[in-house]
Structure 1
Amino acid sequence: MERLSLDISDVWLARKRIASLIKKTPLVKSTELSRCAGCPVYLKMETQHEIHAFKVRGAANKILSLNQKERARGVTTFSTGNHGMAVAWVASRLGIPAVICVSRRVPAAKTEAIQRLGGRLHIHGESQDEAEAECVRLEREEGLTVISPFDDPWVIAGQGTIGLELLEDLPELGSVIIPLSGGGLLSGIGLAVKTNRPTSRIIGVSMEGPAVMHYSLKKGKTLVMPERTTLADSLLGGLGTDNRYTFHMVGDLADQTLLVSEREIAEGIAFMLNHHRTVVEGAAATTIAAILSRKFKPDPQPVVLILSGANLDPSTLFQAVRMAANHTKDPV
């Protein structure tokens, strides 16, 4: 039976449940970003999971919660890429069939990875909402269990395990800057952090354009917006046809939401490559952009940036580096 509430005990249970599959990721101080921000800045390296993205936490918690009959029937999901990879990887490890529904906008690097990880790929439509419709059809006609990318208590609790790790490694943290799309990541981290350290600030950052959660919060209701090409392709997609959790949780937990431009995202990607010799995808680079653009106003307390993923198509990496190089010198 679906639960209608979520609290910190769910996050602790998720941590125990996923421990056999998911390892703690490093928290690394960035000297360059600390100098730019005027306060200590740390990077939470969610890029270091086996699928190079945080999504594996929530997928693991949800799939491990299924009973044997549900596992035998198989699972399905809709995704902009990383969640599909996560479901495919976890399902493969547990011997569960998985069908991954994506739109035609999902980069080839991610669709190819989904297939390598053992997922059966369904490409359907031009948006995540259309991919979701295909996923619902598979649930109805084939009896597969849908593993939501974000609006599910088990998925949210799984992502919240990041917040527990942050509090262990940096109990004095002041702010956490989090890529924001459907809101599962911010909801989980926000729940874990705010429950234990209510004075901490939770900041969501999205790309300019189809930032559905950002504009939905401003309107006070969930909106539907057309997707368009962006360097932060992992942040594309709507809030689901019947959002039950993340819209309200993000509204309660986020102290601020910010938007960054495509140029600023490109500069974030280039910055990580230049200063940390690390490839991050556009969604992760939005957090770097929030610091470099100075749209985030820090205080003296430490700031953590969630580097959500590293699944960047090589052509997109080249495009971002060229875009950044053609604009200005390194902001730092």
Structure 2
Amino acid sequence: MLSLADVMQAAKTLRGLADDTPLVPSALSGRLGTDLWLKLETCQPVGAFKLRGAVNAVSNLPEGTAGVTCCSTGNHGRGVAWAARAKGMRAAICMSELVPQAKVDGIRALGAEVRITGRSQDDAQREAERLARDEGFAEISPFDDAHVIAGQGTIALEMLAARPGIDTLLIPLSGGGLAAGMAVAAKAINPDIRLVGITMDRGAAMKASIDAGHPVEVEEVASLADSLGGGIGLNNRLSFPLCRELLDEIVLVTEDEIYGAMQALYYEDRMVAEGACVVGIAALQAGKVEPGRVMGTVITGRNVDMTEFTRVISGQDVSLGDLTVKGRVYEP
């Protein structure tokens, strides 16, 4: 399994490329009853934290690798496309029909080929596996790859170096690459730190898998936190056992709670961010997480569908497949 040494090595690889994003105090702290700090991965060149894991993984590929592939809900694909272009490599990114067009366009703008396959991340994953098997691509998992996990773990290194007093980390949870990497680093630095994985309550693959005791498939549905969608892979080797072992708790938030947190982050902290970024804030606002003395969370990405985002901040209804989130005007 991974260790702090792996994360430290990743930090050296990322130096000057995908590191040292700002850690800022949140204007929401007083309302939420805690000293809350926000790690702004929105400031990465591709607008999301996924660049860390992608750069670390691509940098560790064998010389002569012709191309890379992955499945992605958007941000991992953008990170892999950026890292591959920097190395002069071909990239083919596999995505499902549920991925917002803005994220598809962002990946194509980086020169990568996009393959839209099926209605779920599991469908996209199968296409990435086919490319690796039949066409010789190197596959980089968005979460179940040692170099990806170590790269994401550098976020915790930076947060705890800047604010050693942080006693709780609220970590957006999907396939578990971010949570596993941050947990490996944070628990090594401070074994008493509380780690809370947070995700939406519809299609929460990691939570369902941990409850079942093994990786399971879940139905993938539209969500304001679309970056947290998708499964964890039935053959998950790394992120599942690390999250099961190291996370202290997992909390689920509703689409309505995510909606309110997106509004709060925008109006109070003046930030444009994806729904996946605000699940920690959503859990605090809903009283689902006990406030710590000093807490940190990751604002994971800014690559949001701006039409949908505008509907949220202006208080309009948002349609998510079979679910409509009722709009409401933000009240401080």
TM over 0.5: yes
Superposed CA deviations along residues 268-314 of structure 1, whole A, max 9, x for unmatched, are 11111111211110110212211211211113x20001111111101
* 1:243-264 residue CA offsets vs partner (Å, 9 max, x unmatched): 0011110011111111111111
**Matched residue, 2:96:** 103
SS in 2 for 1:88: helix
The offset of 1:146, in angstroms, is 0.2
Contact 1:91 1:97 in 2 (8 A): yes
Amino acid corresponding to residue 22 of structure 1 in structure 2: A
Q: Paired residue for 1:58?
A: 53
Q: Specify every segment of 5 or more residues in structure 1 that has no aligned partner in the other structure, as ranges.
A: none
| Equivalent residue, structure 2, for 1:222 | 215
Contact 2:215 2:235 survives alignment (8 Å): no
Aligned 8 A contact 1:287 1:307 in 2:
no
Partner amino acid, structure 2, of 1:6? L
Moved more, 193-202 or 314-323: 314-323
Does 1:143 find its partner at 2:136? yes
> Using a 3 Å threshold, how does the CA distance of structure 1 residues 199 and 135 change in structure 2: closer, same or farther?
same
The verdict on how the C-alpha distance between 1:53 and 1:107 changes in structure 2, with shifts beyond 3 A counting, is: same
CA distances 1:98-117 after superposition (whole Å, capped 9, x unpaired): 00000111100000000001
Q: TM-score, normalised by structure 1?
A: 0.94
**1:241 Cα deviation (Å)?**
3.4
Secondary structure (helix, strand or coil) at the match of 1:68 reads coil
Give the structure-2-normalised TM-score. Answer: 0.94
Partner of 2:268: helix, strand, or coil? helix
Which residue of structure 1 lines up, in the alignment, with residue 295 of structure 2?
303
Q: 1:293 to 1:125 in 2, by over 3 A?
A: same
1:325, CA displacement in angstroms? 8.3
Cα distance between partner residues in 2 of 1:316 and 1:122: 24
1:42: which partner in 2?
Answer: 37
Q: Would you say the 8 A contact 1:150–1:182 is kept in 2?
A: yes
- Maintained 8 Å contact 1:232/1:282: yes
Q: Which residue of 2 aligns with 1:315?
A: 307
For 2:257, the aligned partner's letter is E
Runs (4+) off by over 6 Å = none
AA at the equivalent of 2:305: D
Kept in 1, the 8 Å contact 2:205–2:232? The answer is yes
| Deviation, structure 1 residue 211 | 0.4
CA distance in 1 between counterparts of 2:327 and 2:123 reads 36
Say which SS state the counterpart of residue 161 (structure 2) adopts: helix
Cα distance in 1 between the residues matched to 2:165 and 2:233: 35
Matching residue of 2:67 = 74
Query: How much does 1:329 deviate?
Result: 4.5
Aligned to 1:191, which of 184, 197, 200? 184
User: 2 CA distance for matches of 1:266 and 1:148?
Assistant: 29
Distance 1:328 1:213 in 2: 33
Q: 1:1-332 residue pairs with structure 2 within 5 A?
A: 5-31=1-27, 33-70=28-65, 73-299=66-292, 301-321=293-313, 322-323=316-317, 326-327=327-328, 329-330=330-331, 332=332
In the other structure, the counterpart of 2:320 is none
Aligned residues of 2:53 and 2:151 also touching (Cα < 8 A): yes
Contact 1:57 1:155 in 2 (8 A): yes
* Cα contact 1:25–1:49 (8 A) shared by 2: yes
Q: Distance in 1 between matches of 2:196 and 2:182?
A: 11
Mean Cα deviation higher: 284-293 or 171-180: 284-293
> C-alpha root-mean-square deviation of aligned residues, in Å?
1.3
User: How far off is 1:328 after superposition?
Assistant: 6.3
